[in-house]
Structure 1
Amino acid sequence: MSTTRRKQPKWDSPSTASSGLHLYNTLTREKNAFAPEDGNTVKWYICGPTVYDASHMGHARSYISFDIVRRVMTDYFGYRLFHVMNITDIDDKIILRARRNHLFNLYTGKNLPKDELMKDLATAMAPFEAKAAKEEEPAKKEMYTNVLSKIASLKAVAESSDSTAEDLSALLEGAKDPISEWQDALHGAEVTDNDIFSKLSAFWEADYMEDMDALKVLPPDCLTRVSEYVPEIVEYVEKIIANGYGYESQGSVYFDVKAFDANPLHDYAKCVPEAANDLGLLAEGEGALSSGGVKKSPQDFALWKASKPGEPSWASPWGKGRPGWHIECSAMASDVIPGKLDVHCGGMDLMFPHHDNEIAQAEAYYGCRQWVNYFLHAGHLEIEGRKMSKSLKNFITIKEALSRHSARQLRLMFLSHSWGGKLDYSENTMTVAIHTEKVFNEFFLNVKSEMRQHTRESKFGTAERTLHDKIVEAETNVHNSLCDNIDTPQALKDMKKLVSDVNAYLLDDTRTPSPALLGKAARYVFDRHAQYMPTRS
């Protein structure tokens, strides 16, 4: 594969008529007129969560943002959406977390004497401290420093002469990561019960669904779990091999990127062509438990991973193993929505290699040039100006966020930012959201009170004609904003401008306000408000 900088591949525009809606499409890096392949029906696939831990505000960034886009497309533009989402319940992160949790619980359940625990802790800390010493990335180095400092403080308390059993338990919990990693290195290969892995993913899937319900995010029309699609994934891999784009190596199967890229019909890395040769990102996409098979090229990625001892496995023509991460979405989406997708969406962090590999697999499977027409990516989320990262232990769970602010206030924060842009979750942005909520609440109460007091229409004068023109202007402006990549920040400004115009109209106490006009303005704001701010999921 060439090492020269790649260009954005050609995009084929759907031939059907557009409703006027334009969406920012990662495949073109510009706004394209939106038109589904099949009349008014939109075939939509979104990457769901990998369920191994609590959902955080990074997840909310993606799922609330696309819930807003989904509701506007259905409730405002009138599209019929078939919304499919997956649950990744087979993944290296799940395997490691489940295995380490299991081994940590076995270890702490031994109730070893304090002296023995302290010796074990020293043994467990050695590789952890060595890893911390080698870390050069500032954010990760800071994370390690904080963890080590916390463990040192807990250890000092536990070693004191007047320490309690609770102090020792706190130390064990604080040092869970190094102890779990140490136990995994010793005994990870002995964990053979698949239920250990499936119970963890089932628990966090239920927790995720609870969070989405609390955030008023609509459920998908179809939910797919990787564990339920292993036979279909195996068949998908077999066809990719038959088409000349996959090969077996030491029980694993890899996608042949060079063979795919050599075909004039295909282009690899359509979302981020400049990252096609980024071996660091490619390796990260392979997961922490990569099978280590011999590959034709460093760019090749796993379609099927041979499982090692301590890893869940399923039967396949290539031996016991499990699906690679990228193939899971391609196979499940293709099974539920055969052929082309109108919309595929997910977080910006998935663009490369995950989404680019998904596209390559599906186009290799179908022998087509374009599997997805519109690829939408939600923007990054920061916390008080800093990158949010679970690996850096710098994240806020959805439950923590909901303990501070209501789902309505959080959604208003998201509405105040472009769905594809950067969002800083901070006290300042939440203050703005709370103020916006107050503006709308007071508007509805004010109009309701005025309409109760004034039930009879008076002469339709200059003030009424002016207000009517303002309502029409707001309707036009909001429509234009929504057509422009579902620009909710501008649409909110347009609606707040109408609220201000109505309030100014009501300040004139020399005349009786028109209940019909007040009702028209309030209904319009309420209807748009209801599309963005659902009271239930």
Structure 2
Amino acid sequence: MSTSAEPVKGKRVQPPWTPPGGTEVPQLHLYNSLTRAKERFVPQKGNRVSWYCCGPTVYDASHMGHARSYISFDILRRVLKDYFKYDVFYCMNITDIDDKIIRRARQNHLLDQYKEKQPQAAQILQDVLSAREPFQAALALTTDPDKKQMLERLDAGVMAALLPLQAAMQGKAAPAVVHPLAQLLLESSKDVLSDWLDQQFGSHVTENSIFSVLPSFWEGEYHKDMEALNVLPPDVLTRVSEYVPEIVEFVRQVVSNGFGYESSGSVYFDTVKFDSGPQHSYGKLVPEAVGDQKALQEGEGDLSISADRLSEKKSPNDFALWKASKPGEPSWDSPWGKGRPGWHIECSAMAGSVLGESMDIHGGGFDLRFPHHDNELAQSEAFFQNDYWVRYFLHTGHLTIAGCKMSKSLKNFITIKDALAKNTARQLRLAFLMHSWKDTLDYSSNTMESAVQYEKFLNEFFLNVKDILRAPSDITGQFEKWEAAETELNDSFSDRKCAVHAALCDNVDTRGAVEEMRLLVGMSNGYIAGRKGAKRRPNRMLVESIALYLTGMLKVFGAIEGSEPIGFPVGGQSQSADLESTVMPYLTVLSDFREGVRKIAREQKVTELLQLCDVVRDDTLPELGVRLEDHEGLPTVVKMVDKETLLKEKEEKKQMEAEKKKKKEEASRKKQEQEMAKLAKMKLPAGEMFRSDTDKYSKFDETGFPTHDVEGKELSKGQAKKLRKLFEAQEKLHSEYLQRSHHED
């Protein structure tokens, strides 16, 4: 008995089967700040991805800089989770103990106390003048141009309110005049005044609860903003105030391992000893910044920079793990006395507590690389005694406003609430999707207009597909014959899906992905238009597949929420598909009835009925979020669109028509003026056209043609020839005028 591998006598031997030589499928690569290169993404534990992200320092309203980072990380997280199907465990911190928070909380508390005393106008004026002296001294020493400009704006605002109050009080104005001016000065100078109060009385503020009210409020506002932006909440949220015992233990272990030292009640990290060991290296992310004292001092915090504090360190590059609390600062017990955590240690302790000795991804803003993240790496590797605390470091790019640097400390920022008042969360997200997550993004009217137009482009496609799918068809009618147009579109569909995948594998290049999606929509629109032009229905299953794919990708990106299978939700997130499926049958009946009325009205020439049909289309239904599109020779298209969008379109159309009418009237007026000017010119006999030009000519012949210039010189042949042409042309014009007048008579 022969086996299948043995040749059979009398038969040709078949060649062995070999697998096809297909192209290699791209694999996910991420830009790793540790290597400054795109690296193949390989989680440490199979499909499980551990991810820590630096969260906000909550002392003021969240702004578009926060949105830049957290929307970008939300997109990356969703792509890894919902597209690449990783099991992502996402941890984020809230910094609620920090120099900025301490200073702001103290200042707010002291300013509130000051206002509660209800000072008189004279007292407010005197205190503001006193507060301005150290403020102006600081202004004179400021060299940073952006900060100097900000301080000058503050001072100008104070002066604008101060001078009217001074004038009113010198003029002994009535209290009814003085009091509002005093309150205006108090409001305008709150930054200057609160800083002055803090310098005098800040050390007297000792109650820890004063320092928790401010961050608690702004954390709540931050979460509201993230929910409004459709940013997924973290799986674990850690607050510094809740991890002080873990932070103390973390610092104790770093000291025990020989990389930290106590000095005057504070504990510092020994960068020299850490960097000198064979296993470790300080400044992995930005080695060229090591020794940058300005950056290091900013990392330590405004309240922690003093000659005494600097003298406590073995090296200027050493940074605080634990800070001895000064009067006017919150404090917790520790082996080194009353104190509070350093800024960098909080993330190491919290991330270590939740994610252990090594995580797959650590994320944060580009400006956190040094010293914050470099210090995190050093102290965490010192604690865990390893050199792989973070495998992939991801840093989002800066955000600028119309090309200018944005900074909360410079009071040059747009809050998330302000941004959402101008554009929807989806439009903001689309703007971020249209740019690389790791590059600088400029938040401007042009950027947002591009996002709005992209949204509109996609939405019109979805609405058209929905209209195609609503056309009556039995089950067998769904399987329509494919021709060259369908095959061509399907091939393009396949190519675009591959291109989107390749883009997302390339460092989650959403900019490339959404551009491929734009191309797919453009091809689909061309196909649909071609089918309609040929009076043939587009293939339902093909356009539906494309619409489902695009909707799915937008859901992956977080640009669509809800269960609707195709397109953007109608009427807001809460209504979406349920609203459309409920009301569309009634709208179809109305559309069919209107179409019947229009047909009869056109045949019977009843213009009043046609006008009434137009009112339903242009005025009534847009108020209900319904757009009717009339196409000559084709059924009316019914689309459900957000009411606000339709009303905006209606207003824009009205403005365009008004502008068109204005241009038409302007053109008519100009034409009339030209006709009048031409007529006036025609009335003039040729013999009179030069006689009035006495500044040019001195003698004329019997027909009125000039022969000598103003100086009495005879005109040259060339001059005479040019003037003769004008003369003869005027003779012809005047002759036409006389003939026209004769006929009119």
User: Which of these residues, 68, 72, 93, is aligned with residue 86 of structure 1?
Assistant: 93
Aligned pairs (5 A) from 1:452-471:
452-453=470-471, 455=473, 456=477, 457-471=479-493
Deviation at 1:534, TM superposition (A): 3.6
- 1:255 equivalent to 2:262? Answer no
- 1:122 equivalent to 2:129? Answer yes
Question: Distance in 2 between the 1:417 and 1:19 partners?
Answer: 21
Question: Distance in 2 between the 1:454 and 1:44 partners?
Answer: 49
Question: Distance in 2 between the 1:169 and 1:401 partners?
Answer: 30
Partner in structure 1 of residue 610 of structure 2: none
Partner in structure 2 of residue 237 of structure 1: 251
Partner in structure 1 of residue 317 of structure 2: 299
Question: Distance in 1 between the 2:153 and 2:336 partners?
Answer: 44
Question: Distance in 2 between the 1:30 and 1:77 partners?
Answer: 21
Deviation at 1:157, TM superposition (A): 2.9
Shift in alpha-carbon separation, 1:486–1:265, aligned structure 2, 3 A: same
Deviation at 1:107, TM superposition (A): 1.1
Aligned to 1:429, what secondary structure does the other structure show? helix
Higher normalized contact order (CA 8 Å, seq sep 6+, divided by chain length): 1
- 1:366 equivalent to 2:372? Answer no
Question: Distance in 1 between the 2:123 and 2:228 partners?
Answer: 45
Question: Distance in 2 between the 1:177 and 1:311 partners?
Answer: 20
TM-score, length-scaled by structure 1: 0.95
Task: Report Cα offsets for 1:120-146 as digits up to 9, x if no partner.
Answer: 111100000111112122211211121
Aligned pairs (5 A) from 1:11-410:
20-161=27-168, 163-290=177-304, 292-293=308-309, 294-410=312-428
State which drifts further: 393-402 or 286-295: 286-295
Shift in alpha-carbon separation, 1:19–1:492, aligned structure 2, 3 A: closer
Does the CA-based 8 Å contact 1:377-1:420 persist in structure 2? yes
How many aligned residue pairs are there?
A: 520
Task: Report Cα offsets for 1:241-262 as digits up to 9, x if no partner.
Answer: 0111000000000000000000
Does the CA-based 8 Å contact 1:341-1:371 persist in structure 2? yes
Does the CA-based 8 Å contact 1:19-1:35 persist in structure 2? no
Deviation at 1:506, TM superposition (A): 0.6
Task: Report Cα offsets for 1:496-536 as digits up to 9, x if no partner.
Answer: 10000100001113233110101110001110011111437
Aligned to 1:254, what secondary structure does the other structure show? strand
Task: Report Cα offsets for 1:191-242 as digits up to 9, x if no partner.
Answer: 0111110011100000100000000000000000001111101110011001
Shift in alpha-carbon separation, 1:25–1:70, aligned structure 2, 3 A: same
User: Which of these residues, 467, 472, 481, is aligned with residue 503 of structure 2?
Assistant: 481
Partner in structure 2 of residue 5 of structure 1: none
User: Which of these residues, 450, 454, 462, is aligned with residue 444 of structure 1?
Assistant: 462
Question: Distance in 2 between the 1:114 and 1:199 partners?
Answer: 30
Task: Report Cα offsets for 1:69-112 as digits up to 9, x if no partner.
Answer: 00000000000111000000110100000001100111122112
User: Which of these residues, 546, 559, 573, is aligned with residue 521 of structure 1?
Assistant: 546
State which drifts further: 215-224 or 100-109: 100-109
Does the CA-based 8 Å contact 2:125-2:182 persist in structure 1? no
Does the CA-based 8 Å contact 1:454-1:514 persist in structure 2? no
For 2:57, the aligned partner's letter is T
Task: Report Cα offsets for 1:457-516 as digits up to 9, x if no partner.
Answer: 321111111111011011100000000000001100000100001000011132331101
Aligned to 2:303, what secondary structure does the other structure show? coil
For 1:288, the aligned partner's letter is D
Task: Report Cα offsets for 1:11-42 as digits up to 9, x if no partner.
Answer: xxxxxxx9811001100111000010000000
Aligned to 2:380, what secondary structure does the other structure show? helix
Question: Distance in 2 between the 1:26 and 1:137 partners?
Answer: 28
Aligned to 1:299, what secondary structure does the other structure show? coil
User: Which of these residues, 561, 564, 567, is aligned with residue 535 of structure 1?
Assistant: 561
Does the CA-based 8 Å contact 1:286-1:324 persist in structure 2? yes
The structure that has the greater radius of gyration is 2
Partner in structure 1 of residue 524 of structure 2: 502
Does the CA-based 8 Å contact 2:121-2:178 persist in structure 1? no
Question: Distance in 2 between the 1:285 and 1:269 partners?
Answer: 14
State which drifts further: 283-292 or 93-102: 283-292
Question: Distance in 1 between the 2:189 and 2:556 partners?
Answer: 46
Deviation at 1:117, TM superposition (A): 1.6
Question: Distance in 1 between the 2:288 and 2:301 partners?
Answer: 21
For 2:289, the aligned partner's letter is A
State which drifts further: 240-249 or 136-145: 136-145
Aligned to 2:322, what secondary structure does the other structure show? strand
Partner in structure 2 of residue 10 of structure 1: none
Partner in structure 1 of residue 577 of structure 2: none
Does the CA-based 8 Å contact 1:19-1:77 persist in structure 2? no
Deviation at 1:164, TM superposition (A): 4.5
Task: Report Cα offsets for 1:406-429 as digits up to 9, x if no partner.
Answer: 101110110011000000000000
Deviation at 1:115, TM superposition (A): 1.4
Task: Report Cα offsets for 1:155-184 as digits up to 9, x if no partner.
Answer: 123334353433322211211111111111
Question: Distance in 2 between the 1:100 and 1:259 partners?
Answer: 39
Does the CA-based 8 Å contact 1:474-1:498 persist in structure 2? yes
Question: Distance in 2 between the 1:141 and 1:286 partners?
Answer: 22
Does the CA-based 8 Å contact 1:477-1:491 persist in structure 2? yes
Question: Distance in 2 between the 1:493 and 1:112 partners?
Answer: 61
Deviation at 1:148, TM superposition (A): 1.0
Does the CA-based 8 Å contact 1:104-1:183 persist in structure 2? yes
Question: Distance in 1 between the 2:529 and 2:292 partners?
Answer: 62
Aligned to 1:194, what secondary structure does the other structure show? coil
Question: Distance in 1 between the 2:400 and 2:183 partners?
Answer: 33
Does the CA-based 8 Å contact 1:155-1:171 persist in structure 2? yes
For 1:487, the aligned partner's letter is D
Question: Distance in 1 between the 2:198 and 2:221 partners?
Answer: 26
Task: Report Cα offsets for 1:277-302 as digits up to 9, x if no partner.
Answer: 11110111000111744110000000
Aligned to 1:330, what secondary structure does the other structure show? helix
Question: Distance in 2 between the 1:90 and 1:421 partners?
Answer: 30
Deviation at 1:370, TM superposition (A): 1.5
- Calculate percent identity across the aligned residue pairs: 54
Aligned to 2:222, what secondary structure does the other structure show? helix
Deviation at 1:454, TM superposition (A): 6.2
Question: Distance in 1 between the 2:164 and 2:429 partners?
Answer: 43
TM-score, length-scaled by structure 2: 0.69
Question: Distance in 1 between the 2:255 and 2:330 partners?
Answer: 24
The structure 1 segments of at least 4 consecutive aligned residues displaced by more than 3 Å after TM superposition are none
